[in-house]
C-alpha cells in the first residue's frame, strides 16, 4: 500500500518524476487528451465526464494500472476488468449504498469527504474489508505527517492533490513529498537509520545499506542512489568511484521499517570490490545477459556468441530451430533444457539490438495489463507448419494424419551451387552430441552407482513401466514366444539367410606366414566373450535387429549374449524378440531401454551381467550413452560403431521407376524424425522428377507413420546431377548408410563405390530386403561414418590374436636386427633379451 496517493494536476509536471519513484499517481481523465499518461497511473474518472466502457477498457489495455470509477460504471465493467484494476470513487455519504456485487469486484475505494474523520474511515474500511481505502479530503491544507501515520493505523491512506505537495520544505499549505512518504517509517535501530535493500531492475539484490530521512529525500528528488553511511554521513553512491545509480523505485516494506531501492547500476558494479553484487556472482538470465554484453563489447576470437552477433541469418535459424525443439520436448527436463537454449538465442538477438532483460520484463508487465482478450490463434504459416510437425511420433496403429500439405523434399542443382553449399548438403541434420552427452551423463552415472534400483526407477520414468526385476534368463517360457505361424516362418527364413551369410564371414582358420626362415608369425580369431546387444523398441519393435546382432554373435561363438530392449507397457518383451533370443541362444534379456540400458550393460548391476562390447542402433539417448561409456576406462567396454538415425541415398537415372524410387526413400524416412533420405537425380527430365515427387507425396500420405515421414522428408533433399559419375562422386563424399542404385547397368557401377554401409543394386533390390532377410546386416554406419567403419559383421564379434615361434636358426638370423633397433631406441633390456640368447648359442 502506498503511503499516500498524489493526485496530479496539470500544473504540477515537475513533481511527476519524483512522485513516480515512490509509487503510482492518480491522474484525472481528460476526454480527447492526447498527452501520454505516466507509466504508473490510476486514472480517475469523474462521474460527470462522458466515457464509454470500451474507452475505459482501451485505457487499461494501454497500460493504466487502475481505473477509479463511480459505482454505476463499476457495475458495467465488473465482468470485463479484474478487481485489482478497479477502484470506486465514493462520496462518504453514500458508501453503504454500494451493492455486494460491486463491492466484491473492486480492490480500492477513494472516499471523498470534507475532512478526514478517523472513526468514520474505520467503519468504511471495515465495510470494504478487501479494499484499500484512500481518503480525498476537501480540506485546503495538506495532511500532516501525524495524520498520515494515524490513517495508516486503520489501513487507509490519503490522496493528496499535487497543489498541496512540494519538493521544497513542508509548510502550512504544502507538504514535502519525502516527508509524506517517510511519515510512517519507524526505525528499530539506535542510530535511527533504516535498513535498505538495493537491487537491480530485475530484482537481483546488489547489497544492503542504510537510509535516513535526509538520504531518502535526496534520492527521491534527484533520482540518484543516495544512502546514509553509518560512519561518514550522506553517501552519494558513485560520487568518487563513478559507479552511480539511477533510482527506478523506492518502496517501504510491509511494516514500514525498511526500504527497497530498485536501481540501474552504472560502472563496475555496486560492491566496493568492483563486483555487480556484494553477495557474489549472479546466475541465470542476469549472468547470461552480462556475458552477452561483454561479448558484444569485446568478442574473444572464435566465440560462438560473437559469430551469432555477426551473422543474423545464423541467429534467425537457431532461434527457429530452438523454438521447434522446445515445441517437441515432452519431459520437464527436456522442456527446461530446450527453453534455456531458446532464451540464450533470443537474448542474443535482444542484446545485439540494445534491448535489455529489464526491457523484456517491462514489456511482459505491460502485456499482462491487457484486459481485452484476443483469440490468440497462430498466424496461418505457423498453424500449418505446426500441424505438419506434430510433436508426438505416432505408433503404427495410429491412423494417418488428415493434413493435406504436400510432403516434399528440397531440391538443389549440383551444377548451380557453390562448393560451400555442396559441403552443406553432405552434412546430416544437426545432431547436438554435446547436449545429448550432458543429458545422458546423469542417467549413466545413476545406473553405475545405484545399479538395479536406478535401472528400475529410470524404466518407470522413461518407459512408464514398473518392474519388480529387470533381467530374464533362459530357458524362456514357450508362452513368451508365441507367434503367428506366418511370422515364425518368416523369422526362420530370415534367420537361415542371415546365418548363412554371417557364417561364411567367420574367421576360423589360422593365418600362418614364415617371414624369415625359422620365424613363423600367425594370427587367429577368438570370440569377444561377453556381448551386449541393444534392440531398439521406442517407436517400433525391431526383432530384425535382434537377428542382425544375435546371429553374428552366435556364429562367432560369444559365451554370453545379453539382449537389452525397452519393455512393452505391460512389462513384457515382444514374443518376436523373445523368439529370436531363443534362436540365437541369448544368455539373458534386460528389460530396459535408452541410456540406462547401455549403462547397465557397460558396468553391470546386481542382476545385469557386465559385457565387453556393446552393439546395436538406437535413438540419440542410446547413441550418446554408447559414446560415453566407451570413453570410460573403468567400464572397459568397446562399441560397434557410432550409430545414428537411419538414412538412404538413392541414385536414379532415366531407367528408374518413380514408384520404386519413392518407396525406397520412404522406407528409411519412416524410421524416425531425424532420418534423412537423399535422391540424386541423374539428368532426369522435369516430368520424370515430378513423377517421383508425386509418388513420394502420395505414398507417404498412405503410411501409418506419415507424421514421422513429414518431419524426416522435410529434412531430406533431391540433388540434380548431370552425369552418373558426378552422382557417384557426391555419394562417396556423403558416405550413406544405404546406397540404392536405380541405374542402367547398375552392377557395373558398384566398382566405383568407395564409401557406403551397404549397396542395393538394380530395380528389384529394395533396401528392405537387406533390412530383414536377404542375409546382409542392417546395423550399418550412419552420419558419414561409412568412410571409416564397416557395418556389423561376424568379425565385429571376434578379435584377433597374433602369435610367433622362432627357431634357434631363425633367432641367429633376426636377433642382430632386433638388437640394433633396440639400441637405437635406447631400450637396453630389449636388446639384452636377444643378446643373452645369441651368446648362449655361441
Q: Indicate which residues carry an active-site annotation.
A: 737-738
Segment contacting ligand NAD (CB under 6 A): 221-229, 231-239, 357-365, 779-787?
779-787
- Residue 771 in the binding site for ligand HSO (CB under 6 A): yes
Distance CA 722, CA 405 (A): 30
Q: Which residues pair with 742 in a beta bridge?
A: 652
Candidates 570, 619, 577, 571; CA nearest to 598 is 619
Name residues contacting ligand HSO, limited to 163-222 (CB under 6 A): none
> Is the CB of 90 or the CB of 756 nearer to ligand NAD?
756
Return the exposure string of 330-349: e unless at least 16 CB atoms fall within 10 Å of the residue's CB, then b: eeeeeeebbeebbbbbbbbb
Name residues contacting ligand NAD, limited to 586-645 (CB under 6 A): 593-594, 617-619, 621-622, 643, 645
Minimum distance between the CB of residue 677 and ligand HSO, rounded to whole angstroms? 11
Q: Residue count at the site for ligand HSO (CB under 6 A)?
A: 8
Binds 618: which of ligand NAD, ligand HSO, none (CB < 5-8 Å by kind): ligand NAD
> Is the CB of 225 or the CB of 566 nearer to ligand NAD?
566
Count of CB atoms within 10 A of residue 574's CB?
Answer: 20
Nine-digit cell string for 165: 505537495
Distant-in-sequence, close-in-space partners of 469: CB < 8 Å, separation ≥ 6: 607
Q: Residue count at the site for ligand NAD (CB under 6 A)?
A: 29
Count of CB atoms within 10 A of residue 123's CB?
Answer: 12
Name residues contacting ligand NAD, limited to 255-314 (CB under 6 A): none
Name residues contacting ligand NAD, limited to 445-474 (CB under 6 A): 462-463
Question: At residue 52, what are phi and psi to the nearest 5 degrees?
Answer: -90, 165
> Is the CB of 211 or the CB of 758 nearer to ligand HSO?
758
Judged by CB under 6 A, which of 214, 244, 539, 607 binds ligand NAD? 539
Distance CA 611, CA 597 (A): 12
DSSP code at position 329: -
Minimum distance between the CB of residue 311 and ligand HSO, rounded to whole angstroms? 34
Minimum distance between the CB of residue 491 and ligand HSO, rounded to whole angstroms? 13
Distant-in-sequence, close-in-space partners of 190: CB < 8 Å, separation ≥ 6: none
Segment contacting ligand NAD (CB under 6 A): 5-13, 72-80, 537-545, 599-607?
537-545
Judged by CB under 6 A, which of 331, 411, 804, 832 binds ligand NAD? 331
Binds 731: which of ligand NAD, ligand HSO, none (CB < 5-8 Å by kind): none
Distance CA 352, CA 355 (A): 7
Name residues contacting ligand HSO, limited to 537-576 (CB under 6 A): 542, 544-545
Minimum distance between the CB of residue 536 and ligand NAD, rounded to whole angstroms? 4
> Is the CB of 645 or the CB of 736 nearer to ligand NAD?
645
> Is the CB of 18 or the CB of 429 nearer to ligand HSO?
429
Edge-to-edge order in the sheet of strand 205-211: 205-211, 194-200, 259-265, 245-252
| Strand extents, DSSP E, 242-352 | 245-252, 259-265
SS3 assignment, position 277: coil
> Is the CB of 183 or the CB of 580 nearer to ligand HSO?
580
Candidates 226, 212, 216, 220; CA nearest to 167 is 220
* Contact predicate 545/626, CB 8 Å: no
Continuous segment of H or E residues that includes residue 547: helix 543-556
Distance CA 618, CA 639 (A): 13
- Residue 712 in the binding site for ligand NAD (CB under 6 A): no
Residue 763 has, within 13 A of its CA and on its CB side, a CA count of 11
Nine-digit cell string for 314: 545464423
Continuous segment of H or E residues that includes residue 156: strand 156-161
Distance CA 676, CA 468 (A): 39
Minimum distance between the CB of residue 57 and ligand HSO, rounded to whole angstroms? 59
Minimum distance between the CB of residue 445 and ligand NAD, rounded to whole angstroms? 14
Candidates 768, 737, 762, 740; CA nearest to 680 is 740
Nine-digit cell string for 196: 535498505
Minimum distance between the CB of residue 668 and ligand HSO, rounded to whole angstroms? 6
Residue 501 has, within 13 A of its CA and on its CB side, a CA count of 16
Judged by CB under 6 A, which of 178, 646, 712, 758 binds ligand HSO? 646
- Residue 623 in the binding site for ligand HSO (CB under 6 A): no
> Is the CB of 64 or the CB of 553 nearer to ligand HSO?
553
Minimum distance between the CB of residue 422 and ligand NAD, rounded to whole angstroms? 25
Continuous segment of H or E residues that includes residue 438: helix 433-450
Distance CA 666, CA 653 (A): 18
Distances (CA, A) of 544 to 199, 361, 708, 768, 773: 62, 54, 20, 11, 8
Binds 695: which of ligand NAD, ligand HSO, none (CB < 5-8 Å by kind): none
Binds 796: which of ligand HSO, ligand NAD, none (CB < 5-8 Å by kind): none
Judged by CB under 6 A, which of 23, 143, 566, 815 binds ligand NAD? 566
DSSP code at position 208: E
> Is the CB of 133 or the CB of 624 nearer to ligand NAD?
624
Candidates 320, 187, 348, 366; CA nearest to 259 is 187
Interface pattern 719-758 for ligand HSO (x via CB under 6 A): ------------------x---------------------
- Residue 538 in the binding site for ligand NAD (CB under 6 A): yes
Task: State the sign of the Cα–Cα–Cα–Cα dihedral 112, 113, 114, 116.
Answer: negative
Name residues contacting ligand NAD, limited to 648-707 (CB under 6 A): 671-672, 675
The terminus-to-terminus CA distance of the chain in angstroms comes to 108
* Contact predicate 611/532, CB 8 Å: yes
> Is the CB of 286 or the CB of 779 nearer to ligand NAD?
779
Minimum distance between the CB of residue 403 and ligand HSO, rounded to whole angstroms? 25
- Residue 778 in the binding site for ligand HSO (CB under 6 A): yes
> Is the CB of 137 or the CB of 676 nearer to ligand NAD?
676
Binds 522: which of ligand HSO, ligand NAD, none (CB < 5-8 Å by kind): none
> Is the CB of 660 or the CB of 772 nearer to ligand NAD?
772
Binds 59: which of ligand NAD, ligand HSO, none (CB < 5-8 Å by kind): none
Peptide bond preceding 475 in cis form (omega within 30 of 0): yes
Q: 376's torsion region: left (phi>0), alpha (psi -120 to 50) or beta?
A: left
Minimum distance between the CB of residue 796 and ligand HSO, rounded to whole angstroms? 15
Distances (CA, A) of 94 to 97, 111, 436: 6, 10, 68
Minimum distance between the CB of residue 542 and ligand HSO, rounded to whole angstroms? 5
Question: At residue 437, what are phi and psi to the nearest 5 degrees?
Answer: -60, -45
Minimum distance between the CB of residue 646 and ligand HSO, rounded to whole angstroms? 3
> Is the CB of 106 or the CB of 648 nearer to ligand HSO?
648
Minimum distance between the CB of residue 344 and ligand HSO, rounded to whole angstroms? 33
Binds 793: which of ligand NAD, ligand HSO, none (CB < 5-8 Å by kind): none
Judged by CB under 6 A, which of 257, 260, 321, 334 binds ligand NAD? 334
Judged by CB under 6 A, which of 23, 207, 537, 736 binds ligand NAD? 537
Binds 619: which of ligand HSO, ligand NAD, none (CB < 5-8 Å by kind): ligand NAD
Distance CA 611, CA 636 (A): 9
Contact residues toward ligand NAD (CB under 6 A) are 331, 334, 462-463, 536-540, 542, 545, 566, 593-594, 617-619, 621-622, 643, 645-646, 671-672, 675, 778-780, 782
Contact residues toward ligand HSO (CB under 6 A) are 542, 544-545, 646, 668, 737, 771, 778
Amino acid at each position: 500500500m502506498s503511503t499516500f496517493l498524489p493526485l496530479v494536476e496539470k500544473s504540477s509536471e515537475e513533481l511527476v518524476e519524483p512522485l513516480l519513484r515512490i509509487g503510482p499517481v492518480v491522474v484525472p481523465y481528460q476526454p480527447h487528451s492526447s498527452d501520454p499518461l505516466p507509466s504508473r497511473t490510476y486514472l480517475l474518472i469523474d462521474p460527470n465526464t462522458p466515457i464509454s466502457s470500451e474507452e475505459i477498457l482501451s485505457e487499461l489495455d494501454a497500460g493504466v494500472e487502475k481505473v477509479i470509477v463511480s459505482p454505476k460504471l463499476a457495475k458495467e465493467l465488473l465482468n470485463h476488468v479484474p478487481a485489482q484494476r478497479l477502484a470506486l470513487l465514493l462520496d462518504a455519504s453514500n458508501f453503504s449504498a454500494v451493492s455486494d456485487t460491486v463491492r466484491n469486484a473492486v480492490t480500492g475505494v477513494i472516499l471523498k469527504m470534507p475532512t478526514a474523520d478517523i472513526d468514520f474511515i474505520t467503519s468504511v474500511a471495515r465495510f470494504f474489508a478487501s479494499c484499500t481505502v484512500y481518503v480525498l479530503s476537501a480540506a485546503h491544507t495538506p495532511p500532516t505527517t501525524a495524520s498520515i501515520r494515524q490513517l495508516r493505523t486503520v489501513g487507509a491512506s490519503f490522496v493528496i492533490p499535487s497543489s498541496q505537495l512540494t519538493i521544497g520544505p513542508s509548510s502550512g499549505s504544502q507538504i514535502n513529498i519525502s516527508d509524506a512518504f517517510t511519515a510512517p517509517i519507524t526505525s528499530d535501530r539506535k542510530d535511527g537509520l533504516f535498513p535498505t535493500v538495493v537491487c537491480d531492475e530485475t530484482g537481483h539484490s546488489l547489497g544492503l545499506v542504510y537510509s535516513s530521512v535526509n538520504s531518502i529525500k535526496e534520492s527521491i528528488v534527484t533520482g540518484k542512489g543516495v544512502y546514509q553511511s553509518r560512519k561518514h554521513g550522506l553517501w552519494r553512491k558513485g560520487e568518487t568511484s563513478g559507479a552511480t545509480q539511477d533510482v527506478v523505485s523506492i518502496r517501504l516494506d510491509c511494516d514500514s521499517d525498511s526500504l527497497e531501492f530498485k536501481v540501474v547500476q552504472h560502472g563496475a558494479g555496486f560492491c566496493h570490490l568492483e563486483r555487480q553484487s556484494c553477495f557474489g556472482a549472479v546466475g541465470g538470465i542476469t549472468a547470461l545477459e552480462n556475458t552477452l554484453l561483454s561479448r558484444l563489447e569485446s568478442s574473444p576470437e572464435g566465440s560462438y556468441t560473437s559469430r551469432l552477433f555477426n551473422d543474423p541469418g545464423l541467429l534467425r535459424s537457431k532461434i527457429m530451430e530452438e523454438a521447434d525443439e522446445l515445441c517437441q520436448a515432452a519431459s520437464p527436463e527436456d522442456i527446461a533444457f530446450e527453453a534455456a537454449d531458446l532464451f540464450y538465442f533470443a537474448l542474443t538477438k535482444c542484446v545485439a539490438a540494445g534491448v535489455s532483460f529489464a526491457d523484456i520484463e517491462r514489456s511482459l508487465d505491460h502485456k499482462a495489463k491487457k484486459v481485452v482478450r484476443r483469440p490468440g490463434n497462430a498466424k496461418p504459416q505457423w498453424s500449418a507448419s505446426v500441424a505438419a510437425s506434430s510433436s508426438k511420433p505416432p505408433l503404427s496403429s495410429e491412423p494417418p494424419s488428415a493434413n493435406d500439405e504436400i510432403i516434399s523434399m528440397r531440391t538443389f542443382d549440383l551444377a548451380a551451387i557453390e562448393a560451400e553449399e555442396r559441403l552443406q548438403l553432405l552434412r546430416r541434420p544437426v545432431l547436438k552430441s554435446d547436449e545429448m552427452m550432458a543429458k545422458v551423463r546423469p542417467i549413466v552415472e545413476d545406473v553405475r552407482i545405484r545399479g538395479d534400483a536406478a535401472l528400475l526407477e529410470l524404466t518407470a520414468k522413461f518407459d512408464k513401466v514398473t518392474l519388480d526385476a529387470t533381467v530374464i534368463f533362459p530357458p524362456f517360457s514357450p508362452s513368451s514366444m508365441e507367434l503367428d505361424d506366418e511370422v515364425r516362418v518368416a523369422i526362420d527364413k530370415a534367420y537361415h539367410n542371415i546365418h548363412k551369410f554371417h557364417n561364411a564371414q567367420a574367421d576360423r582358420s589360422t593365418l600362418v606366414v614364415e617371414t624369415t626362415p625359422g620365424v613363423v608369425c600367425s594370427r587367429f580369431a577368438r570370440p569377444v566373450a561377453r556381448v551386449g546387444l541393444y534392440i531398439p523398441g521406442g517407436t517400433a519393435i525391431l526383432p530384425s535387429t535382434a537377428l542382425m546382432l544375435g546371429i553374428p554373435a552366435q556364429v562367432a561363438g560369444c559365451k554370453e549374449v545379453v539382449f537389452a530392449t525397452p519393455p512393452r507397457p505391460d512389462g513384457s518383451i515382444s514374443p518376436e524378440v523373445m523368439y529370436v533370443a531363443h534362436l540365437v541362444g541369448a544368455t539373458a534379456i534386460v528389460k530396459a531401454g535408452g541410456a540406462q540400458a547401455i549403462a547397465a550393460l557397460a558396468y553391470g548391476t546386481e542382476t545385469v551381467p557386465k559385457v565387453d562390447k556393446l552393439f546395436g542402433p538406437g535413438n540419440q539417448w542410446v547413441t550418446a550413452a554408447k559414446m560415453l561409456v566407451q570413453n570410460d576406462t573403468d567400464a572397459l567396454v568397446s562399441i560397434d560403431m557410432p550409430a545414428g538415425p537411419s538414412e538412404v541415398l538413392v541414385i536414379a537415372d532415366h531407367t528408374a521407376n518413380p514408384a520404386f524410387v519413392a518407396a525406397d526413400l520412404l522406407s528409411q524416412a519412416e524410421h524416425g524424425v531425424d532420418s534423412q533420405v537423399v535422391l540424386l537425380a541423374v539428368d532426369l527430365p522435369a516430368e520424370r522428377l515430378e513423377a517421383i515427387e508425386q509418388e513420394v507425396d502420395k505414398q507417404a500420405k498412405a503410411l501409418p507413420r506419415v507424421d514421422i515421414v513429414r518431419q524426416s522428408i522435410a529434412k531430406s533433399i533431391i540433388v540434380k546431377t548431370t552425369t552418373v559419375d558426378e552422382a557417384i562422386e557426391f555419394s562417396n563424399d556423403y558416405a550413406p548408410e544405404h546406397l540404392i542404385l536405380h541405374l542402367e547397368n547398375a552392377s557395373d557401377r558398384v566398382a566405383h563405390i568407395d564409401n557406403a554401409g551397404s549397396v542395393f543394386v538394380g530395380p528389384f533390390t529394395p533396401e528392405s530386403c537387406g533390412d530383414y532377410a536377404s542375409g546382409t546386416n542392417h546395423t550399418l554406419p550412419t552420419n558419414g561414418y561409412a568412410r571409416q567403419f564397416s557395418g556389423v559383421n561376424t568379425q565385429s564379434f571376434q578379435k584377433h590374436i597374433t602369435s610367433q615361434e622362432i627357431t634357434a636358426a631363425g633367432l641367429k638370423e633376426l636377433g642382430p636386427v632386433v638388437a640394433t633397433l633396440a639400441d637405437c631406441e635406447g631400450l637396453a633390456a630389449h636388446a639384452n633379451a636377444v643378446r643373452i640368447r645369441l651368446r648362449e648359442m655361441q
